[in-house]
Structure 1
């Protein structure tokens, strides 16, 4: 009996090594969030007591995070033309995801603080290497036998669902602050009534969609590692809200409704 295959074979030992390093490093970042060693952006920047750290405005910092990854995706259409429908969907998904994030930084999000330069550099390198790596590894996999189970259309549906839900909840967050207010408020509306980080939930769905489109081991490693980080970040975020607001609703979970 032939065993169903859901992933492409690794094209080289160097790609395998990259996959393993990516998985370990992203899971480590998630563990660091749980123990309180947060990447310094959003509300956790203000919790840092080290005034000697170099900081940039949050808007500049966030644009720095996403723009190189967006450009990597955009350039890939010219560097790696062709490649079939799956490769086109992957390049399009990666490029559109980071383009959307840039547009949100410019026109949706409202910022009240700064970002630590060290965290900006680390996250920028991760996003850029993830975007470029996903595309390059899939390019190297072209010509290898296709997985016996094709999930690219399921991945496309999940990607669209994730993008839509992520944008909707980012927009709800932006509407919390009126007239240039700076203070944090307890989010409400949409899935915020059930979890404190629904935008993270839908970002996880985005990466699951990308993994199902690509079906390379690196794509699944990026998705697993990113999911572990976002789940850990949501846990830290819920604790932050509990400490800041006495009236924080106890039934609101971290990222998965009714479960966690």
Structure 2
């Protein structure tokens, strides 16, 4: 039995003991977190423990998924451990599920039920007072192209919900609760509210009027069906890359490995490449609608940053075993 000193890092933690007695031979870091969680009343995921000697985070699992023993950390009698309250937490999986539900609700709602109200010239419609927002006295039925756009957009996010629930494996359990608002804003506002408002207008191609009439999906079946085919290819390819990533990390472990195979032999993050390709198909079918283009631009830049960061991490972690390549776009980026 040894005694470890416990000190708060940052703000004080109520009921945090100044020391804790452990059996060095049998105590796991998981049990250390559990005991401090019970003492302080904070959830397990809300606490972060670090070694006083070097500030490294005390993890609970090895890459193999096995428990970490306290004695493996090199802690001795009266060694110091810092405990930090990370604030209210929410599960990563839950955050993604909340993010994607917004567009799933908004697009069918806007197309099937709200069009007569959203685009009415009635003075009671607040949107009619917004400059350049398309409103009219007579709301025509939704076009085939608009119905296709609604189906493709909704199915994309249904697929994401499925992958979040059944496919993805996360290296961390939780994130700060306030992140849910920041993360959800991207999808609820850009791909949800904004796209829904400007894809199902009475004049569906107004926003993309610069697009040649002969190349608009409503006038050219080749563009419509070609766009749908491209979307299906991108979605299936994106799903395949997610299955590859899933296979690299056994359940319950934090193991990292270099992904190879379809897409990964060409770029570092083909899952991002196929994601953008799928949205380019939607943009093509929409006639170059600016709201879709804005969502692609913001999401594409963000994913490019993530891809470059991941590529640097692969080179640092795996060294010469990792073959450097473009991160998202073959031969370009």
What TM-score results when the alignment is normalised by the length of structure 1? 0.73
Seen in structure 2, the aligned counterparts of structure 1 residues 240 and 157 have a Cα distance that, compared at 3 Å, is same
Task: Please tell me whether the aligned partners of residues 231 and 255 of structure 1 are also in contact (alpha carbons under 8 angstroms).
Answer: yes
Greater mean deviation of Cα atoms: 192-201 or 120-129: 120-129
3-state SS of paired residue (1:186) = coil
Larger Rg: 1 or 2? 2
Task: Please tell me whether the aligned partners of residues 152 and 214 of structure 1 are also in contact (alpha carbons under 8 angstroms).
Answer: no
3-state SS of paired residue (2:319) = coil
Give, in angstroms, the shift of residue 104 of structure 1. Answer: 0.5
Q: Determine the C-alpha separation between the residues in 1 that align with 2:232 and 2:313.
A: 30
Greater relative contact order, per chain length (Cα 8 Å cut-off, separation 6+): 1
Equivalent of 2:253 in 173, 181, 188: 181
Equivalent of 1:227 in 283, 291, 300: 300
Give, in angstroms, the shift of residue 100 of structure 1. Answer: 0.4
Seen in structure 2, the aligned counterparts of structure 1 residues 143 and 60 have a Cα distance that, compared at 3 Å, is closer
Match of 1:30 in 2: none
Q: Determine the C-alpha separation between the residues in 2 that align with 1:106 and 1:51.
A: 28
Equivalent of 2:98 in 59, 64, 73: 64
Match of 2:170 in 1: 111
Structure 2: state its 5+ residue gaps: 1-56, 58-83, 116-140, 217-222
Give, in angstroms, the shift of residue 78 of structure 1. Answer: 2.8
Higher helix fraction (1 or 2): 1
Seen in structure 2, the aligned counterparts of structure 1 residues 258 and 143 have a Cα distance that, compared at 3 Å, is closer
Residues 1:161 and 2:195 aligned together: no
Structure 1: state its 5+ residue gaps: 1-48
Equivalent of 2:285 in 202, 213, 237: 213
Task: Please tell me whether the aligned partners of residues 237 and 274 of structure 2 are also in contact (alpha carbons under 8 angstroms).
Answer: yes
Task: Please tell me whether the aligned partners of residues 86 and 176 of structure 2 are also in contact (alpha carbons under 8 angstroms).
Answer: no
Task: Please tell me whether the aligned partners of residues 201 and 255 of structure 1 are also in contact (alpha carbons under 8 angstroms).
Answer: yes
3-state SS of paired residue (1:245) = helix
Give, in angstroms, the shift of residue 123 of structure 1. Answer: 2.1
Q: Determine the C-alpha separation between the residues in 2 that align with 1:115 and 1:243.
A: 25
What does the per-residue CA deviation read over 1:45-79, in whole Å, with 9 as the maximum and x for residues that have no partner? xxxx9963543222112112212222223433432
Equivalent of 2:199 in 120, 123, 138: 138
Task: Please tell me whether the aligned partners of residues 99 and 187 of structure 2 are also in contact (alpha carbons under 8 angstroms).
Answer: yes
Task: Please tell me whether the aligned partners of residues 99 and 183 of structure 2 are also in contact (alpha carbons under 8 angstroms).
Answer: yes
Task: Please tell me whether the aligned partners of residues 234 and 275 of structure 2 are also in contact (alpha carbons under 8 angstroms).
Answer: yes
Q: Determine the C-alpha separation between the residues in 2 that align with 1:134 and 1:157.
A: 21
Give, in angstroms, the shift of residue 90 of structure 1. Answer: 0.8
3-state SS of paired residue (1:190) = coil
Give, in angstroms, the shift of residue 99 of structure 1. Answer: 0.5
Residues 1:86 and 2:159 aligned together: no
Q: Determine the C-alpha separation between the residues in 2 that align with 1:248 and 1:118.
A: 38
Task: Please tell me whether the aligned partners of residues 238 and 270 of structure 2 are also in contact (alpha carbons under 8 angstroms).
Answer: yes
Seen in structure 2, the aligned counterparts of structure 1 residues 179 and 118 have a Cα distance that, compared at 3 Å, is closer
Give, in angstroms, the shift of residue 91 of structure 1. Answer: 0.5
Match of 1:236 in 2: 309
Greater mean deviation of Cα atoms: 220-229 or 191-200: 220-229
Task: Please tell me whether the aligned partners of residues 110 and 200 of structure 2 are also in contact (alpha carbons under 8 angstroms).
Answer: no
What TM-score results when the alignment is normalised by the length of structure 2? 0.58
Greater mean deviation of Cα atoms: 121-130 or 202-211: 121-130
| Aligned-CA RMSD value | 2.4
Task: Please tell me whether the aligned partners of residues 234 and 277 of structure 2 are also in contact (alpha carbons under 8 angstroms).
Answer: yes
